[in-house]
Structure 1
C-alpha cells in the first residue's frame, strides 16, 4: 500500500528506524515518511533478520512492514537467482504487492517478478530466465515453475507468507508446505495473518525459528469502525437499483465498493449502474483474467469509481481511498461484514458503510447485529424516495435514478485496455 495517508506524528519515520536512504527517498516520493503501527513494530526485528509473526488485516501497511526489510537485505547486484520470496493467496494481491515493492525499491535496481496463475507461462519463465532478485507469487504457479526447474529456490534467504489464513481458506496449505521444503533451512521467515487458526499456528511452529509475535489488530480494530459511519436499511430488492443510484450521488462520495453474494448479481448491478450513467465495473469469478485485471486497474486509477464484487473476487484488493462500502445484500456472517466494511475508514480516514437488508434477510442481519453489538436489530424501512435516506447520506434533493450528464466525468472501463490471456479463465 503505497498511497500516502495521515499518520500519527509520534510514529517514527522510516529513516529513524535505519531504513536505507534509497528506500526512504522512494517512499518519500510516494508521500510516505512516517510508519504505521505494524511497520514500527516489525521493522526493527525484520531488519535484524529475525523471524516474525505479524497479526494484521489488509490495509494496515504490512506490505512495507515486510517489504522494506526484504529489499534492504538483498545483496545487490545479485546473480539473477531469487534471494527473497513473497507468497500471497490471490493474483490481485500479487499484482498489488509487486507494484508496491517495485516502487519502494526503484532506486536500488531490484529486479522483481510477479508469478501467478491465469496467464501464460512463457512471459513468467522468460522474466525468471533473465534474472530476478525478488519473486512475488501465488502458491500453485510458484510450485509449478519450481518443479519444472524454471524457478530456483536454493538461494532464497528470506521468505514471507502473506495473508496466511486466506491461503488456508483457499486450500493452499499443502502447496505452501512443499514450497517451504524447497527453500534453504537457514533463512528469515515472516508470516502475516489476520487470524491465527490452528493450522496456521502449527505451520508457524514447524517452519519459523523463534519468531516474535506482533499484534497490530486489537488496538486498531475499534478505530477502523469508529471512523466508519454505519447505516443499515430494510430495502426491497425491486427498489435497490434505484436506491443505490441515489446513494452514489451523495456528497463527498469517492471510490465505492459494492458487495453482492453471487457472481450473477454482481454483473447485473454493474451493468445496471453503467446504463444509468455511472462509471462502474464488476469483478467476479465468471470473468476472464484479463477482464478482472482490467476492472481493477480502472478502479485503482479512478477511470471507474464504482467496483461491484463478490467476496471471493475481492480478496486481496487493497485500495486506500475507498470512501463508501455498500452491502447490496446482507453478508453471510459477522466476519464477512467486518471484512467488507473494513475496506473504508482506512489509514486514519473516515468512511461510510451502507447495508441493505431485504425482508427475508432480517434473521441473518439480527445475528450479525447481536454478535457485533451494533444495536441495529430492526433496520428502518427505506425506499429510494425516503427523506431520511437523503438526510443520512447527504444526497441532493433533486437526485434521480440516473447520473446527470454534467457529472459523467470519468473515463469508464472501456478506457482501460484489457490484456489478452488466450481465452483462459
Structure 2
C-alpha cells in the first residue's frame, strides 16, 4: 500500500502493526530515488546529478534501531551499490567523518550525533531529497522534538517527508503535518486481525510478588518449545540485576540498557542474534524496531508505562506471521497502571490472577514440565554464553569504552590472558616499615622477630648493634635556637640514667663524655638551658643563692596578685635602675634580703600567684644559666630570718597607686624614693617595714 504512493514523491504517514515490514516500506522508495553511478551508466540520470553528499536522511530514536535499519538497507541496496552510513553516538567521530568525505548516498542516524556533525559542517544536508522519521511518535515526543525541528530547518524546503510507526496518536499526527505537505495517511490492517495487538501473539497476565518474580521467570524459561526470549524491565538497575541472577541460575543471558557502553550493547545483541545467548534482558531501548528471528517468548518483568510501550514490547515476538507468547507480571503496586493499559487496549485482563512460582495454573498455561525448579540443569546448559562473543572496540567517547566502568554491569568480565613465564614476577615480601630516629632504628636486628624481618634486598645498611633505646621525652622550649642543644642534652641525660652507650646518631659536637656528664650539665651556660613552663610553684631559693646571683640574670616573673612586702634590703637599690611593677593588688613590703640587689639588675616578675620561696640548692648555679620560669601560682614570701639584714640607706622607689598613697615618714629612705620609679597598683600601697620602725 505504501510503495506506489512513496515512489510518486508524495508525503506519507504510514501506520501498521509491529512486524509487518515498515522498514522496507520506506526503504525501497529511498533506494529507488537516490542517484548512483549505475543510473548514469544505464542512462537514467545525467552525470551532473551525481553528488557525494547524502541524498536521503532517516532519523531513528535508538542506536540499536539505527544499526538494524542500516543493515536492512545495505542488504536491499546491494544490487545497485547504494552507500549507506549509520551515524549514532557511542562511536568515534573519525570513521564517520572519513566515510562522509568519501561520499554517502543514504544516512541513518540518531538526532544527537546528526546535530553534532552538521554543526561542525562535516555533514552536508543541502542535497537531501527525502526525509524519513522512523518511530515517529517517539521522535516527535517532547524529548526529541527540539532536535528534530533543528534538523528539519537545515533541510531544503522542497523535499519528501515520510513518517512511520506502529502507534500514531492524533496529537502526533497534527504535529507532524506542520512539516508535511498534503500527506497521505495509510493505515494497514489485516481483515481478520482486530484490535491493536497481533493475533499470533498469545498473551498471559499474572499478578506476581516482586520477591517471587526471579523464580517464576526461571521456571518460565524452561517451558517446552521455548526459543529465544526477551525480558523487559522498567529500570536499568533491575535489568542488570535480573541478567546477573539468571546467569547464576545457569542461563546464557545478556543485558542491554543505558548504563552499558555501546560496544557492550552491540556485543549482547550480536550474541543474541547468533544464538550464543538465548535470554536478553533489556529496557525499553530495545523495545522499538528490534527484529530478531526465533523469539518465542517476551516477558514483561515490570509493568510498562503505557499502552504504546506494551504494544512495542510484545511486538518483538510473533513477527512476520510467526507465533509468540507474551507474559506480563504485574506487581500489587502496578495494578492501577495495568488497568489503564488494559482499558486502552481492551485486552480483557482487568484483574490478573494471583500467581506464584508453585501455582499449578502457571505450569498448565505455559507448558512447563512438572517438577521444574528455578535452576537450569547442567545437561541443558549448551549455549556458549556472552563471553564467546568478542566485544568490538568502537572508540567510544565519554569514558565508557573498553576501559570498564558501569558498562560491565550485568555481564561477565572477559577472562584476562594468562601471563607468560617471562611476564611472571616473583612474589614480593610485603615491606615492613621500621621506626627510626636520626637515621638509626629504634629496635636492634636481634629484637626484630624473624617472621617480620625485611628481606636483604629491601633492608637498610646494617650498623653496629646497640642496646634498645629509651623513648625520647619531648621538652618544650620557648625558642627554636636551642632545640638541637636540648635534644643532645636529652640523649646524653637518658644515656647516663640508663647507663647505656650513646648512639652514633647524636652529633659529635653535642655529645659530652660520660665521665663528666654530671659536671657538664651543671656548668652548661644559660644559653643552652631550655626554658620551662610549669603550672606549679617554683622551688624555694636559699640565702646564698639570693645573695650571690646577679640581678640581671634573674628571670622575670608576672604576678596577678599582690607582691610580698619588700624588706629593707630593697632600699639599697638605686631608684633609677628600679623597674616598674604593675600589680592588681597592693604591693607587699619587701624584705631586707632583697635590698642588696642593685635596682638596675632586678628583673620584672609577673606571676599569677605569690611565688614560692627559692631553695638553697639553686644557689650554686650562676644566675645567667638560670632559665626563666612562668608560674601560675603565687610566690611564697621570703622569710626575714633567712636573709641577712641590710642597711636601708638606699633610696626607695616610687609607687603609683590608683588611690591616695599614704604619707611616708621623713626618713632617708623616703627622701631617696623621690627619684625611684613609680609603681601602679589598684589598691593602696602598704608601708615599707624598716628595722627602725
Q: How does 1:110-121 map to 2 (within 5 A)?
A: 110-121=82-93
Partner Cα separation in structure 1 for residue 162 and residue 305 of structure 2: 31
Q: Give the conservation status (yes or no) of the 8 Å contact 1:320–1:347.
A: no
Q: CA deviation at 1:178?
A: 2.2
Partner Cα separation in structure 2 for residue 392 and residue 67 of structure 1: 40
Quick one: structure 1 residues 192 and 366, their matched pair in 2 at CA, closer, same or farther if it must change by over 3 Å? Answer: closer
Quick one: structure 1 residues 184 and 306, their matched pair in 2 at CA, closer, same or farther if it must change by over 3 Å? Answer: same
Q: CA deviation at 1:320?
A: 4.2
Partner Cα separation in structure 1 for residue 124 and residue 354 of structure 2: 59
Q: Give the conservation status (yes or no) of the 8 Å contact 2:208–2:354.
A: yes
Q: Give the conservation status (yes or no) of the 8 Å contact 2:271–2:386.
A: yes
Per-residue deviation, residues 291-349 of structure 1 (Å, max 9, x unmatched): 11211222222221111112245344333432111111222333333332222222212
Does residue 46 of the first structure (1) align with residue 6 of the second (2)? yes
| Equivalent of 2:62 in 90, 107, 115 | 90
| Equivalent of 1:178 in 142, 150, 161 | 150
Q: Give the conservation status (yes or no) of the 8 Å contact 2:253–2:279.
A: yes
Partner Cα separation in structure 2 for residue 217 and residue 268 of structure 1: 39
| Equivalent of 2:219 in 240, 243, 246 | 246
Structure 1 vs Structure 2 CA RMSD: 2.2
Quick one: structure 1 residues 111 and 372, their matched pair in 2 at CA, closer, same or farther if it must change by over 3 Å? Answer: closer
Does residue 143 of the first structure (1) align with residue 115 of the second (2)? yes
Q: CA deviation at 1:57?
A: 4.6
Partner Cα separation in structure 1 for residue 311 and residue 166 of structure 2: 12
Q: How does 1:158-237 map to 2 (within 5 A)?
A: 158-169=130-141, 171-197=143-169, 200-216=172-188, 220=193, 222=195, 224-237=197-210
Q: Which deviates the most, 301-310 or 332-341? A: 332-341
* Alignment size in residue pairs: 385
Query: What is residue 52 of structure 2 aligned with on the other side?
Result: 80
Higher helix share: 1
Partner Cα separation in structure 2 for residue 361 and residue 179 of structure 1: 38
Q: CA deviation at 1:371?
A: 3.9
Does residue 341 of the first structure (1) align with residue 314 of the second (2)? yes
Query: What is residue 350 of structure 1 aligned with on the other side?
Result: 323
Partner Cα separation in structure 2 for residue 170 and residue 180 of structure 1: 16
Quick one: structure 1 residues 361 and 176, their matched pair in 2 at CA, closer, same or farther if it must change by over 3 Å? Answer: closer
User: TM-score scaled to structure 2, two decimals?
Assistant: 0.53
Q: Which deviates the most, 134-143 or 410-419? A: 410-419
Q: Give the conservation status (yes or no) of the 8 Å contact 1:300–1:319.
A: yes
Q: How does 1:100-115 map to 2 (within 5 A)?
A: 100-115=72-87
Q: Give the conservation status (yes or no) of the 8 Å contact 1:88–1:161.
A: yes
Q: The residue matched to 1:414 in structure 2 has which SS?
A: helix
| Equivalent of 1:384 in 348, 357, 360 | 357
| Equivalent of 2:256 in 272, 283, 304 | 283
User: TM-score scaled to structure 1, two decimals?
Assistant: 0.84
Does residue 310 of the first structure (1) align with residue 294 of the second (2)? no
Does residue 256 of the first structure (1) align with residue 216 of the second (2)? no
Partner Cα separation in structure 1 for residue 73 and residue 194 of structure 2: 26
| Equivalent of 1:68 in 25, 28, 37 | 28
Q: Give the greater-gyration-radius structure (CA).
A: 2
Quick one: structure 1 residues 338 and 315, their matched pair in 2 at CA, closer, same or farther if it must change by over 3 Å? Answer: closer
Q: The residue matched to 1:396 in structure 2 has which SS?
A: coil
Q: CA deviation at 1:99?
A: 0.4
Give the gaps of 5 or more residues in structure 1. Answer: 1-40
Query: What is residue 56 of structure 1 aligned with on the other side?
Result: 16
Q: Give the conservation status (yes or no) of the 8 Å contact 1:283–1:314.
A: no
Give the gaps of 5 or more residues in structure 2. Answer: 38-49, 401-406, 408-693
- Greater RCO (CA < 8 Å, at least 6 residues apart): 1
Q: CA deviation at 1:218?
A: 8.1
Q: CA deviation at 1:362?
A: 3.2
Does residue 295 of the first structure (1) align with residue 273 of the second (2)? no
Q: The residue matched to 2:356 in structure 1 has which SS?
A: coil
Partner Cα separation in structure 1 for residue 142 and residue 257 of structure 2: 16
Q: Give the conservation status (yes or no) of the 8 Å contact 1:94–1:137.
A: yes
Q: How does 1:395-414 map to 2 (within 5 A)?
A: 395-414=368-387
Partner Cα separation in structure 2 for residue 332 and residue 399 of structure 1: 32
